[in-house]
Amino acid sequence: MGRLFGTDGVRGVANADLTAEMALGLSVAAAHVLAEVGTFEGHRPVAVVGRDPRASGEFLEAAVVAGLASAGVDVLRVGVLPTPAVAHLTGSLDADLGVMLSASHNPMPDNGIKFFARGGHKLADELEDRIETTYRSHASGEPWDRPTGAGVGRVRDYAEGFDNYVAHLVGVLPNRLDGLKVVIDGAHGAASRVSPEAFARAGAEVVTIGAEPDGLNINAGCGSTHLARLQAAVVEHDAALGVAHDGDADRCLAVDSVGREVDGDQILAVLALAMREAGTLRGNTVVGTVMSNLGFKLAMRREGVELVQTAVGDRYVLEEMKEHGYALGGEQSGHVIALDHATTGDGTLTGLLLAARVAATGRTLADLAGVMERLPQVLINVPDVDKSRVSSSADLAAAVAEAERELGETGRVLLRPSGTEPLVRVMVEAADIDQARSVAGRLADAVKSALG
């Protein structure tokens, strides 16, 4: 039986893999585990619960709220808000627990549950393991110790969460965005209201697309995984830049004024230099992952900024940042963590900080992003394979060694199992795009053959 918790909470097809019963049970288990470790000691516990607009989020939210309240936890239900908003409100309201229902960039039928600890930080692995163990033991029949009478949790809607979060975002900006036209693609997701409102309050002229969620259209042909609509809209409206979120808005990709993509590595490069200039880039260091483009690494070396690389996953970036006190880190996918202002990746904040740099310098986004040259990078997702055997297959190891010999020092290869989906990711970087595609194609075939 595999581990329920992946790198970003529990995910699966809603009502098939992730059921109402599981959502309720995990919530009760989380409440009991946090009580056992002393999180609730001396006070009545409070949880913040939010979701993205997926249709399944409605019944999963009801299950989570019921589970928490049945375990004696008071619930503040904030409704449809981004993941980083739930994290922020968990911290700012001094709540004991945050729960977000979202499958981020995954397609609409999927959903997920992510828990935040006190302060708005992701739960430690050992706590997730304890929650899972507790959940499984009770799912097999062991009865819960349940409060009664006044001991049960109370539930209320917390509509103020929207304004509190937007005010926080605007309040941390180093300068206003007056005179800047920005196109925002909300992916028909959790930031559909928040992001346009925050940019407008900061002074930008806002054009909005992908901001009409109906519960079924989240991430569908829009947002950070489908940039074509945003690229066209930026050119059509003669905007300075475009910002694209994913379904739960914990990530941000951008588009420059002529419609070219600006990815997470480029955004990190721009923000790193801005923060160094402002004296806020602690340790003169930015944290990336092993997926960071080689061009990013070369640019930071040229600019005299240290780059620390971690395993793939924003939780590992965050762990490195917290352990060593770094202020900026993120992933090529657009998860950017500005730790002075957020406890997790925040797509709206990232877009605002990027736009603020454009406004402050008077330079185009293309000019700012030009600090680094992206080397050609090909990523192939190989589905329907046994991702648990990536590191143990001798045939696959031989195929990777051959690819690395062919690329030499001008490129690199990375194979890794997805932490959130049932597939293996094949990444090849090379100075020449045709070579990268050729090598990646061969390796993808090797993965199918060895692990299929």
CATH code, 447: 3.30.310.50
In sequence order, which residues have a C-beta less than 8 Å from that of residue 110 and are 6 or more positions away?
A: 11, 12, 13, 14, 18, 103
Instruction: Note the pLDDT of residue 412.
Output: 85
Instruction: Note the pLDDT of residue 108.
Output: 97
Whole-angstrom distance, CA of residue 370 vs CA of residue 426: 27
Instruction: Note the pLDDT of residue 410.
Output: 72
Instruction: Note the pLDDT of residue 450.
Output: 87
Instruction: Note the pLDDT of residue 431.
Output: 83
pLDDT tens-digit map of 144-197: 999 999 999 999 999 999 999 999 999 999 999 999 999 999 999 999 999 999
pLDDT tens-digit map of 56-102: 999 999 999 999 999 999 999 999 999 999 999 999 999 999 999 99
pLDDT tens-digit map of 347-388: 999 999 999 999 999 999 999 999 998 888 899 999 988 888
Contact 427/379 with Cβ under 8 angstroms? yes
Is 27 labeled as catalytic in the residue annotation? Answer: no
And the tokens for 254? 């951008």
Instruction: Note the pLDDT of residue 94.
Output: 97
Q: Are residues 167 and 151 in the same domain?
A: no
Instruction: Note the pLDDT of residue 6.
Output: 83
Give the total number of structural domains in the chain: 3
The answer to whether 386 is annotated as binding is no
Instruction: Note the pLDDT of residue 1.
Output: 54
Q: Would you call 426 helix, strand, or coil by DSSP? A: strand
Contact 193/163 with Cβ under 8 angstroms? no
Q: Are residues 359 and 384 in the same domain?
A: no
- Quick one: how far is CA 306 from the chain centroid? 23
Whole-angstrom distance, CA of residue 164 vs CA of residue 46: 18
Q: Are residues 282 and 386 in the same domain?
A: no
Instruction: Note the pLDDT of residue 140.
Output: 80
In sequence order, which residues have a C-beta less than 8 Å from that of residue 362 and are 6 or more positions away?
A: none
The H-assigned helical ranges of 210-309 are 228-236, 264-278, 294-303
The answer to whether 104 is annotated as binding is yes
Q: Are residues 292 and 415 in the same domain?
A: no
Mean pLDDT, rounded, for 410-423: 82
Q: Are residues 175 and 104 in the same domain?
A: no
Query: What's the mean pLDDT when you consider all of the chain?
Result: 94
Is residue 421's pLDDT more than 80?
no
Is residue 251's pLDDT more than 80?
yes
Higher local confidence (pLDDT), 319 or 419: 319
Instruction: Note the pLDDT of residue 294.
Output: 85
End-of-domain residue from the set 315, 345, 369: 369
Q: Are residues 181 and 119 in the same domain?
A: no
The answer to whether 74 is annotated as binding is no
And the tokens for 140? 């097999």
Higher local confidence (pLDDT), 419 or 404: 404
Higher local confidence (pLDDT), 77 or 297: 77
Q: Are residues 121 and 145 in the same domain?
A: yes
Q: Are residues 243 and 353 in the same domain?
A: yes
Mean pLDDT, rounded, for 278-301: 94
Q: Would you call 316 helix, strand, or coil by DSSP? A: helix
Categorize the per-residue pLDDT at 2 as very low, low, confident or very high, splitting at 50, 70 and 90: low
pTM, two decimals, is 0.89
Q: Are residues 82 and 102 in the same domain?
A: yes
Lowest mean per-residue pLDDT among 117-126, 223-232, 287-296, 417-426: 417-426
Q: Are residues 356 and 381 in the same domain?
A: no
Instruction: Note the pLDDT of residue 295.
Output: 87
* Full domain range(s) for residue 101: 5-158
Q: Are residues 261 and 363 in the same domain?
A: yes
Instruction: Note the pLDDT of residue 7.
Output: 73
Percent of the chain at pLDDT above 70?
99
From the candidates 104, 192, 195, 333, give the one annotated as an active-site residue.
Answer: 104
pLDDT tens-digit map of 183-219: 999 999 999 999 999 999 999 999 999 999 999 999 9
Instruction: Note the pLDDT of residue 134.
Output: 95
Q: Residue 38 burial by CB count (10 A; 0-12/13-18/19+): exposed, middle or buried? A: exposed
CATH number, residue 145: 3.40.120.10
User: What is the DSSP code string of 124-150?
Assistant: PHHHHHHHHHHHHHHHTTPPP----GG
Categorize the per-residue pLDDT at 52 as very low, low, confident or very high, splitting at 50, 70 and 90: very high
End-of-domain residue from the set 337, 369, 401: 369
Q: Residue 234 burial by CB count (10 A; 0-12/13-18/19+): exposed, middle or buried? A: buried
Categorize the per-residue pLDDT at 51 as very low, low, confident or very high, splitting at 50, 70 and 90: very high
Other beta carbons less than 10 A from residue 329's beta carbon = 30
